[in-house]
Every structure is written in C-alpha cells, then in structure tokens.
Structure 1
Amino acid sequence: MVSRVIPVDPFDLVIFGGTGDLARRKILPALFRRFVAGQIPDGSSIVGAARSEIDDAEYKSLVKDALREFHPGDLPEDMLSGFLNILHYVQVDATGDQGWDALAKLARPDVVRAFYFSVGPSLFGALAERLHHHGLVDPETRIVVEKPFGRDLETARALNTSLAAHFEECQIYRIDHYLGKETVQNLMAIRFGNMLFEPLWNSQYVDHIQITVAETVGVQGRGEYYDRSGAMRDMVQNHLMQLLCLIAMEPPAKFDPDAVRDEKLKVIRALDPVEPADLVRGQYLADGDRAGYLEDAEDPASKTESFAAMKVHVSNWRWAGTPFYLRTGKRLKARASEIAVVFKETPHSIFDEDAGRHRNTLSIRLQPNEGIDLDVTIKEPGPGGMRLIDVPLDMTFSEALGPESEASADAYERLIMDVIRGNQTLFMRGDEVEAAWAWTDPIIQGWETRGDRPEPYETGSSGPEDALALMHRDGRRWREIRE
C-alpha cells in the first residue's frame, strides 16, 4: 500500500527545552522519522534552545546519541547526516535576555515558524512574552504547549490568559499525544465514514461503553511530580476525557478544527457530576523487590491515587441511560489502552438457552497493537446443534496495512506535522481545557473534603476490588486487560 503524504512548505521549528528528556525521547526521533519519510522539505530548519552551554556540534552529537537510543530500527548514515545538517542550537534564558537576539537571527520571517514549549508550564508565559518582545510573532507563528494545562480551573484560566496576551487562539496548539494515535483518529472515520455504525451509535442500541488506559509501570523516578497530580489530573482530565468526547460527540457539520472541537465541548458540558458511589480510587502495593506507591511517592501518608475508575453519564438525547465506565491505573496486569462499545443484546432470541447470551462489541485498541475488533456472533462449527460463539473480525493495522505503512507512525510525528500545516483538529482548545477542569475540580474537592483514602490493590492485578464491584452491581463486567 502506497501512503499519500501531504507535503508542506519549508519551515522553522524551535524546540525550547531542546536538550530535555521529552525532546530526546519523543520530539527529535519523531522529526527524524518525518525527515526519512521525505516530509521535511529542503530549506527547513530545526533549532534546539536551552540553558546548556553547548555549541552546534555538541548539540548534534547529543541528538545523534538520542536517536541511537530512542529511534527504533537502523539509522541510515546518509539520512542521519542530512538530518543533522538542518539542526542548530542556541543557548537561551527563558526568563532573561540571553540568546534571544541570536535566536531571532535564525528564525526566518518568510516561512512558518513554530515554537515548541518542551518545558514546564511555569515558563510558558515568560517564553510567550519574550517571543513577542523580540519580534518573533507574526500571523504565521505557532506555539506548541505540553500538558499539564494547569492543575485546576483557576490555574488553567491563568495559563490561557498568559498565552492569549501574545497569541491568538488559532496560533496555540495544546498537544495531547493520545490524540495523535492512528486509532484515535480512526474513531471519527469509523463513526462518520461508515453507514454501518452511526445509526447504531446511541442509547437505543449501545448498552455501555468502557474506556481503559492501563499501565504496568509505577511512578518510580517521578513520584514527587505524580504525587501532586494523581491519576485524575494526569490521565482522566485530559487523555480519557478526550477519548470520551470523540466517542460521544455529535457529527460535526464538516471535518473542520473548530467544528470538531465545538462538538467535543458540548460533550464535556453535558457530563453529569460523579457521585461518590460511582468513583473508585486506588494505590498499588509493593510486590517483591518493587516498591509500593507510598514508597515511590516517598510519602507514607499520601492520599494520591495511582488508579481511578468511575461511572459517567452524558446527559443528552443520544446517550441518556447509557453509562460510560472509565478506568486508568499503574502497575496493572498489562499495558493496554482500549475503547469498547458494548451493544445491547438482541430484543428476542430465537435460540434456546444452551445458545447462551451474546452481544456485539466494537473494541478500538490504542496500544500496544493499534487496531479494531468487532465481535460477531456465529454458529460454532461442527455437528451437535446450534451452539453460538463470538468471534472477532480483527484489523490490526500493522498486519492489514503493513509494518512500514504510515499507520505505524508515532503520535508526535502526526501532531508536529499538523502544527506545521496549521491544522488544529487534534489539539485542545482553551475553552475545552477549562470546561474539563470545571467538571473535574468538584470530584477532586469532594474526596479531599471527605478525607477519602485510596484502596490498596495488588501489583499485576486489574485494580481495586471496588472497581470490579462498580461494574458488577450494574450486571456488567470489565473487559479483561490484556496486551
């Protein structure tokens, strides 16, 4: 299968925090893969900007080492040499004046200029102000900011205000790498490109929807940061919220950034408050030589959750009566991210009781093996009567489209190139962020006021027992977590 890659014009991309962990692990390898794919045209320039006292040659050596460590597969020498040739480095003080004149000389006014804020949110306002002060902002300038977009509604509003003082909303790209996954984008293609599904995508036919993001790792190495956020702020408020919006939203009038984001915003505003009985929080326990959450967080009294599960209702005509079950956690039995749309049983079965009860389930796998399954009920092969079984119609992207297809591209590759194209469809708008916090804040304030402690759960399990009961009491059960 031949991929159709949309070309772009030459551009300048400046990575603030260009020597940092995110740049080394994700941003620079993603740019190198786009270079190898022929999507970074001649005349483009990538500039690393940071506080480190190094020159161009030292920066290129750092990037080469990062690619060797984090780029999957071989590094063709000719491609590596070509990529390194478009790299530059500037030592910049984000809160002072050092380096800005040198950066201004590298950033050309006649091409798209994108500035990636691969730094902590506390520096976003200072960087925005200095870009404006040094004449680096014009209508074609774009900035990319990483989460967290605040830690509550108040700080999110303050962050949006600081950015809006120097940039229009159409210039601000709030990046959530989950939205760059091939399968996440395919949610819209499945729903709005196939007559088969959209007529059934409502409470009349859908029994419930499950959204699971499970990790096998703990928080070791980032315990201090994570203990200030927890699963609710780190995952539910952004990643799971965005997946919920894409699943639940109404069809936009057209595939346009603001049209799509308008419909996502309506979903957030239609969310009911979550009752305490519909919320489960947990902390993983120690297992052998692996520390428990309290040890990783270095706070034996911590009430921060490493696991969260909840039942959510969207109060509109499409979804009234259909619950959404969300769960995410660390140190679970497998690394897996999945959205499962579980359809209702047929209104009347013509088969006897031995045939069993069966439901169609559309499962959309985000990781580790992106793809889509549709469980279909068929007759079990062989003699002996009409026995029914469920079999999956499986489309694993790497198998269906080939491992070298564009379907295997990393999320950062897609999102960075969308920034260059000026396409904001897969980026969060400021009012979306604030609406998500407006829904999340009361949930967090509720358990803090009650003094609730998270429930301990075994490492390698599916989470706390109460999370299983959250489904069982409704006569449902979570899908098994498996890679």
Structure 2
Amino acid sequence: MVSTVIPVHPFDLVIFGATGDLSHRKILPSLYRRMLVGQMPAGSRLIGAARSKMTRAEFRKTVREALGEFVEAKHQKPEAIEEFLNAIDYVAIDATGDAGWGALAKKLDEKPDNIRAFYLSVAPALFAPIAARLAQTGIATPESRIVVEKPLGHDLASAKTLNAELRKHFHESQIYRIDHYLGKETVQNLMAIRFANALFEPLWNSHYVEQVQITVAESIGVAGRGAYYDKSGAMRDMVQNHMMQLLCLTAMEPPSKFDPDAVRDEKLKVIRALDPLKVSDTVRGQYRAGGGDGSYLDHVGNPASRTESFVGLRVHIANWRWSGTPFYLRTGKKLTARVSEICVVFKHPPHTIFPQVDTLRGNALIIRLQPNEGITLRVAIKDPGPGGMRLVEVPLDMTFAGTLGPDGDLPEAYERLIMDVIRGNQTLFMRGDEVEAAWEWADPILTAWEESGSRPMPYDPGSAGPIDVYKLTGSDGHLWREIAA
C-alpha cells in the first residue's frame, strides 16, 4: 500500500518555543519526514522563535542534533538533512516585550505569498501575549493560522478566558487547538470504519453494543514532570481532552458531510449529552513505591498531595443511540503496560444453538492506538478438526503493520496535523465550544473530589490500578479488558 502525498502551498511556519522539548522531539522531526515524502514545497521555511540568543547557524546545529536523536536511522539521509536545514531560520524574540518582533516581521515580508502559520509550543500563560503581539504588529494576516497546545485551561473559567483572548485577535477559523490523539491513523480509521462501510453502523447503538471501554495506560510514572502533573492530575491531563475526543468519535452521530464544522458539531452533541458524573461512578488512585522506584508522592515531592495518577469512570450518554450502554474510561501511570485502545463489545446473539457460546466473551471491535496501531475484530469460529462443534475466539486482524509490510511507515500524528494546519483543514482540531463543554462536564466532579477531602486509593506499580476500579464494571456484570501490550 502506497500513501498518497497531497501537495500544499509554500508556507512559513513560525515555531514559538523552538528550542524546547516538543519542538525537538515532535514538531521538527515530523516536518523533516514530510519533506522526505515531498510535502514541504520549495520556498517553505521553518522559523524558530525563542528567548535564547543564538544565531541561525547555532539553531540549525540544535535541529541537526534533534533529527539525529528523534528520526529513525533509516531516514537519516545526509543530503536530505542538509536540504531541511537550509529551510531553517531563527529569531530571538521576547514573547511579552518588543525585542525580535520587527526582525520576525521583516523575515516574513520577504515571502508575502507564503501561508503563515504560528505554532505556540510554549507555556499557556504566553498564548494570549503572543497572539496579541502577532495581531498588533501586523505579522498575522487574516489568512494566518495559530496553533495552541494543551492544557487549554485548568477549568471552565480559565478555558473561557483563554478562548476569549485568542478570539480578540484571531477568528475561530484561524485557531487550531491541537490534540495529537486525533492525528493518529487508527483514530481517523475509526471514522472510516463507521462511516465508509455499511457493516458496522447499523449495529453501532445500544441495541447491539453491550459496553465500550476506553483505556489509556502508561507504564511510566510522573518523575521529571511531577511539578506540572501534581497541578493537573489524570482527569485534567488525559480525560478532559484526549479521552473525551476518543469518546466523542466513538459515540457521535454520522455527520452530514466530512467537513470540519459538521464533524465537530456532532462531537459537541455527545459532550452535551453526557450524564453528570456521580462520585460513585469514579475511582481515583495514586501509585505506591515499588520495583526500586519511588511513589507518586515521592515523584511530586508533596506527601500531602491528593492529586490522582489514575482515574476510572463509568459514563452514560443520554441520547437515543446510547441509552443504557455504559462507557468505561480508565487512564493512569505506572500500570501494567503502555496501551491506548478503544474496545466496542457487542451483545451475545439473542438465541444460541451452541451451549459453548455462553463461555465466550462475544464479538468485540478493538481499535488499538498504541503500541502497534491497528484494528481487530474478535469473532467465534469452529475449532478445526473432528470431535464436534467446538468454538474458539479468533481475531480478524487489521493491524497496519501487516497491511503496509515490514518497511511500511505510519506517519506520526504531528505530521498529519501540521499539514492540516497548512491546508486550512480544522476537522481534526478542537473547536472552542468543544473545549468549554468538556470542562463544563469535568468541573463538577473535580470540585466534588476536592470538597470531599478524601485521598486517592493507593495501587501497586505494574497493576491495573486500584482494586475498586473493578467495581465500576462488576456492578454491571462486566469485566475490564486485560491491559497488555
């Protein structure tokens, strides 16, 4: 299978925070890979913008080192790297002062016909000041795009404030709130599976779906980012944004067309249909010390912390399609394995002619985001051989590694999303009202946890989380899927 490369117009991408980890680890390597496949046209430029005083040559040296560390060895092509570095420029800039803005404007004016995009890979506190400066200096044109990373607020009030600040200077159609989960091939294939085939959509409702499980598990702890994490926790860091988007794409109605606002309208309807969370439908946890490593409390340096490193939820969607079908969500640190997946479990046949069917788990569609992106469908078949009708469960495997072959490459999420910014396609980006609706749903339970004064339940590293998480599914007669890579 050969992927199609869709050309884009020459562009200038200004990366604020270009000397930071996200730029070196994800943004610049992703753009390099796009250049390798011919999707970075001649005349395009990547302009780093940061506080550090350095020359263009010095910045290019850091980019070369980043490519050496974060690009696969088979793509380390000296001529291509030189070509990429020739498209790199740099401006030392003060995000909240006057220094550097004139120099940036001068560079951009050299190519007035290039698309202008501004990637804010900086602390959220700098989003509004940079947006204001871009507008006030005339650097941002009516056709420019601005990209902002999470966290998009800490609660509903701060999210509204941030959206208002951005909209003072940019139209909603220019604002790209990036969520890298939406750039994953498997997530996009979830929409293709549902809306490009007649097979699943008639069954995609509470009449045929028994339960849905969404798991985002990490095997590592929060050491190294404890100060940030202790102010957010699993609910703010994962559920309110990444997992909410996965829930929306799984549960939404078919949009009238594959259009940015049509898709995002349907996602918004899902969020607004969510029943309010009850404390009894939630489980919070903190990992203990183990395996020679410290506990969550050790890693954040706060022995009194009540911030959760694990959260499990039972969620219900109050609409005709999903009434009565529970959605189980769980995410956490220091769990058994690193796994992100959506599992749609279908009900058993209404009448069985095979007694053994009752011992089988039933049909399930498993959408695996990481590792080993792909989709499998669990079905029951006859066990080959004589001796009666013995049934076994087997997966119909749609993993992309098998489809693409051993040398096939799946594009990184950031590759797809950055190119969508250049194209002006907002389908895979969050709209402001989506962000606010998600916070409106999450805020009450966050407040209830805080007011309860209770501490998260401890759990062992390498486990599936606190023992009480099994009650969320068990009370409905269901079982969590095993967390396995």
Equivalent residue for 2:105? 104
Contact in 1 for aligned 2:360/2:393 (Cα 8 Å): no
Q: Secondary structure at the match of 2:222?
A: coil
Q: Secondary structure at the match of 1:331?
A: coil
Q: In 2, Cα distance between the equivalents of 1:162 and 1:173?
A: 14
**CA positional deviation for 1:134:** 1.1
> Do structure 1's residue 462 and structure 2's residue 464 form an aligned pair?
yes
Q: In 1, Cα distance between the equivalents of 2:411 and 2:139?
A: 31
Q: Where do 1:287-326 residues align within 5 Å?
A: 287-326=290-329
Q: Where do 1:395-406 residues align within 5 Å?
A: 395-405=398-408
- AA paired with 1:46? L
Q: Secondary structure at the match of 1:48?
A: strand
> Do structure 1's residue 279 and structure 2's residue 282 form an aligned pair?
yes
Equivalent residue for 1:42? 42
Which among 409, 412, 435 is matched to residue 410 of structure 1? 412
Contact in 1 for aligned 2:356/2:390 (Cα 8 Å): no
Q: Secondary structure at the match of 1:12?
A: strand
Q: Secondary structure at the match of 1:164?
A: helix
Worse-superposed segment, 249-258 or 66-75: 66-75
Q: Secondary structure at the match of 2:330?
A: strand
Equivalent residue for 1:376? 379
Q: In 1, Cα distance between the equivalents of 2:415 and 2:293?
A: 34
**Cα distance change on mapping 1:346 and 1:255 into 2, 3 Å:** same
- AA paired with 1:477? L
**Scaled by the length of structure 1, what TM-score is found?**
0.98
**CA positional deviation for 1:307:** 0.3
Q: Secondary structure at the match of 1:340?
A: strand
Q: In 2, Cα distance between the equivalents of 1:97 and 1:354?
A: 71
Q: In 1, Cα distance between the equivalents of 2:82 and 2:357?
A: 66
Q: In 2, Cα distance between the equivalents of 1:306 and 1:478?
A: 19
Q: In 2, Cα distance between the equivalents of 1:245 and 1:312?
A: 12
Q: Secondary structure at the match of 1:165?
A: helix
Contact in 2 for aligned 1:250/1:263 (Cα 8 Å): yes
Q: In 2, Cα distance between the equivalents of 1:249 and 1:210?
A: 15
**CA positional deviation for 1:140:** 1.5
Q: In 2, Cα distance between the equivalents of 1:159 and 1:271?
A: 24
Worse-superposed segment, 173-182 or 133-142: 133-142
Q: In 2, Cα distance between the equivalents of 1:135 and 1:354?
A: 67
Q: In 2, Cα distance between the equivalents of 1:264 and 1:403?
A: 35
**CA positional deviation for 1:385:** 1.4
Q: In 1, Cα distance between the equivalents of 2:160 and 2:313?
A: 26
Equivalent residue for 1:139? 142
**CA positional deviation for 1:403:** 4.7
Contact in 2 for aligned 1:313/1:324 (Cα 8 Å): yes
Q: Where do 1:45-124 residues align within 5 Å?
A: 45-74=45-74, 75-107=76-108, 108-124=111-127
> Do structure 1's residue 157 and structure 2's residue 167 form an aligned pair?
no
- Tell me how large the CA RMSD over aligned residues is: 1.0
> Do structure 1's residue 20 and structure 2's residue 20 form an aligned pair?
yes
1:165-196, Cα deviation, whole Å (9 max, x unpaired): 00000000000000000000111000001100
> Do structure 1's residue 257 and structure 2's residue 260 form an aligned pair?
yes
Q: In 2, Cα distance between the equivalents of 1:463 and 1:412?
A: 30
Equivalent residue for 1:230? 233
Equivalent residue for 1:31? 31
1:9-32, Cα deviation, whole Å (9 max, x unpaired): 100000000001110111011111
Q: Secondary structure at the match of 1:253?
A: coil
1:190-246, Cα deviation, whole Å (9 max, x unpaired): 000110000000000000000000000100001010000000000000000000000
Contact in 2 for aligned 1:115/1:143 (Cα 8 Å): yes
Equivalent residue for 2:2? 2
Which among 342, 350, 353 is matched to residue 350 of structure 1? 353
Q: In 2, Cα distance between the equivalents of 1:342 and 1:241?
A: 19
Q: In 1, Cα distance between the equivalents of 2:303 and 2:148?
A: 33
1:122-168, Cα deviation, whole Å (9 max, x unpaired): 00110011111111121220000000000100000000010000000
Contact in 1 for aligned 2:356/2:391 (Cα 8 Å): no
Which among 372, 386, 389 is matched to residue 386 of structure 1? 389
**Structure 2 stretches of 5 or more lacking a match?**
none
Equivalent residue for 1:451? 453
Identity level (%):
65
Equivalent residue for 2:212? 209
Equivalent residue for 1:179? 182
Contact in 2 for aligned 1:355/1:388 (Cα 8 Å): no
Q: In 1, Cα distance between the equivalents of 2:303 and 2:197?
A: 52
- AA paired with 2:454? D
Contact in 2 for aligned 1:345/1:357 (Cα 8 Å): no
Q: Secondary structure at the match of 1:238?
A: helix
Q: Secondary structure at the match of 2:72?
A: coil
Q: In 2, Cα distance between the equivalents of 1:84 and 1:364?
A: 37
- AA paired with 2:23? A
Equivalent residue for 2:421? 419
Contact in 2 for aligned 1:144/1:174 (Cα 8 Å): yes
Q: Where do 1:328-343 residues align within 5 Å?
A: 328-343=331-346
1:62-100, Cα deviation, whole Å (9 max, x unpaired): 000111111122410000000000000000000000000
Q: In 2, Cα distance between the equivalents of 1:403 and 1:335?
A: 22
**Cα distance change on mapping 1:469 and 1:442 into 2, 3 Å:** same
Q: Secondary structure at the match of 2:375?
A: strand
Equivalent residue for 1:473? 475
- AA paired with 2:107? L
Contact in 1 for aligned 2:376/2:397 (Cα 8 Å): yes
Contact in 1 for aligned 2:340/2:368 (Cα 8 Å): yes
Q: In 2, Cα distance between the equivalents of 1:432 and 1:395?
A: 31
Q: Secondary structure at the match of 1:218?
A: coil
Worse-superposed segment, 336-345 or 104-113: 104-113
Worse-superposed segment, 415-424 or 356-365: 356-365
**Cα distance change on mapping 1:50 and 1:231 into 2, 3 Å:** same
> Do structure 1's residue 433 and structure 2's residue 435 form an aligned pair?
yes
**CA positional deviation for 1:353:** 4.8
Off by >6 Å, runs of 4+ in structure 1: none
How many aligned positions are there? 482
Worse-superposed segment, 276-285 or 467-476: 467-476
